[in-house]
A = this chain, B = another copy of it.
Amino acid sequence: MKRTGPTDSGCPVLRSLRHVGDAWSFLILRDALAGATRFDEFQRNLEIAPNILTNRLVSLVESGLLERRRYCDRPPRDEYHLTQRGRDFRPVLQALLVWGNQHLAPEGESVVIVNRETGEQAEPVMVDRLSGRPLSDPVFTNASGPAAGDRIRRRYPSMDQFPQHEEAGR
């Protein structure tokens, strides 16, 4: 997706996929979020060819999701640590986990998210932080934002066309 694919219209989903646009990159981030930092760990977990792994790690470093840190000089060895940008990718993987559990685990769940303190299994849901309402509520819709170009504005109504909160609150 880096060199081919649709024109960058400013769509944040498209931009995200230009940085993390193939399954290997998602899986490397999954493992990094589970604590993996070393080439051998990623390779063992993923059963990935070394050249593909190297390629994806370089790409994730270039995209600012991982940073390389030398941990051994002789022989030269690097670790890959998540940056804040990489850590902020966690909700995407959690959403994939939820969807996979919901639709692709006929034999039951293999990986779940639990609350360490209570042992309770979490029920992840995307909500609006302000109102607490689930984003699956049809009251929520995509709109073009302040930086939208022509293509985005043709696709989505402008956020200014909705009733304004300030007025509604008076």
Contact = CB atoms under 8 A, between A and B. Distances in A.
Interface of A: 1, 5-7, 9-19, 21-24, 26-27, 30, 34, 45-48, 64, 85, 88-105, 107-133, 135-136, 139-149, 152, 155-156, 159, 162-165, 168
A34 B114 CA distance: 33
Contacts of A1: 22-23
B111 A88 contact: no
15 contacts: A1-B22, A12-B99, A14-B27, A14-B100, A15-B100, A16-B104, A88-B103, A92-B99, A94-B95, A110-B145, A111-B145, A113-B135, A114-B140, A125-B127, A126-B127
B110 A16 contact: no
Contacts of A135: 90-91, 94, 113, 122, 124
Tell me what chain A mostly uses at the interface: helix, strand, loop, or mixed.
mixed
A99 B125 CA distance: 16
B5 A104 contact: no
Nearest to A110: B10
Nearest to A26: B17
Contacts of A116: 139-141, 162
B91 A98 contact: yes
